[in-house]
Structure 1
């Protein structure tokens, strides 16, 4: 099944890339998704190409009860976003892969970070979600799509709060907290 989700970030493209590559922010968004356990690894440079890899253990409460036997009491989700260097306008593209360990589900697709005319930035995830359980594939894909959409909606809320919290502050318009 096709899955497309767009997040709106109230900041410019360069600041959005800095945010997406900030390990502290990535930890915060993973925690907000309900992760019981987490691991975050950011490599590269947000001013160039960078890769963000997360692993999180999530409860299976969003998966229909009759399908939980396929995944158990928690699911281990590995997500890799590989972002290419920015174009002159700050836009960038990349790839995204989401795999659920122990479950026959995988999302693979493209990402895009695009500045808008209003000074904000959109981040789009667009890919194919596949389950390889013949009889239950459609139901598993629907459940996984709902979980991924929910996680990305949480990410948008976390990003907005992060941006608001780091935009205010003394003299130079920055807080004394680490910058995204």
Structure 2
């Protein structure tokens, strides 16, 4: 299933990068939906190429019934991100992989943080796949809108976080 999301944030890319890779922000984002941050690692400096690994548990109460049958009351999600070196205008590309423990579901995407005036545009394009025979397509179809909503919630939370945590 194709995954697309776009949002604008009234802050420069370097600030959005700082927030999207801040452990306290990630913890707060996870908790805002009833989840828990299990671990977070960042390897490398923010002004160069770097990577992150985030592991969190999330409740499944908002998932479609089909998905809940397979995963239970919560899921453990591992998110790997490889951030590019900033371009001359500060724009960045992030290669993202998200896996769900105990579920045959993988998200692969490219997120672009693009300088737009004094702010940023965050574009995400990717795919949601499931390797489960027969039901894989249905699981991916059910998961795709939820993943899109989660990405939009992250951007909404980032907007609030940036307003309440100035540089």
What TM-score, normalized to structure 2?
0.90
- Secondary structure at the aligned position of 2:165 is classed as helix
User: What is the CA-CA distance between 1:36 and the residue it aligns to?
Assistant: 4.0
1:81 deviates by 1.5
In the alignment, is the contact (CA less than 8 A) between 2:114 and 2:122 conserved in 1? yes
Matches of 2:12 and 2:92, distance apart in 1: 12
1:53 aligns with 2:57: no
SS at match of 2:61: coil
Deviations 1:131-160 (A, max 9, x none): 112322222112221221222121111111
Report if the CA contact (8 A) 1:32-1:155 is conserved.
no
Residues 63-102 of structure 1: CA distance to partner in whole angstroms, max 9, x if unpaired? 2224422212211111111111101100111200010111
What is the rounded CA distance, in whole Å, between the counterparts of 2:17 and 2:68 in structure 1? 36
Coordinate RMSD, CA, aligned: 1.7
Q: How does 1:91-102 map to 2 (within 5 A)?
A: 91-102=91-102
Larger radius of gyration: 1
Distance (whole Å) between structure 1 residues aligned to residue 22 and residue 153 of structure 2? 17
Alignment partners' CA distance in 1, 2:160 and 2:33? 15
User: Structure 1: where are the runs of 5+ without partners?
Assistant: 168-178
Structure 2 unaligned regions, length at least 5: none
Cα 1:37–1:121 change in 2 (3 A) is closer
CA distance in structure 2 between the partners assigned to 1:67 and 1:20 by the alignment: 27
Distance (whole Å) between structure 2 residues aligned to residue 108 and residue 52 of structure 1: 15
1:16-165 → structure 2 map (5 Å cutoff): 16-117=16-117, 119-165=118-164
Runs of 4+ more than 6 Å apart: none
TM norm structure 1 = 0.84
CA contact (8 A) 1:86 1:92 kept: yes
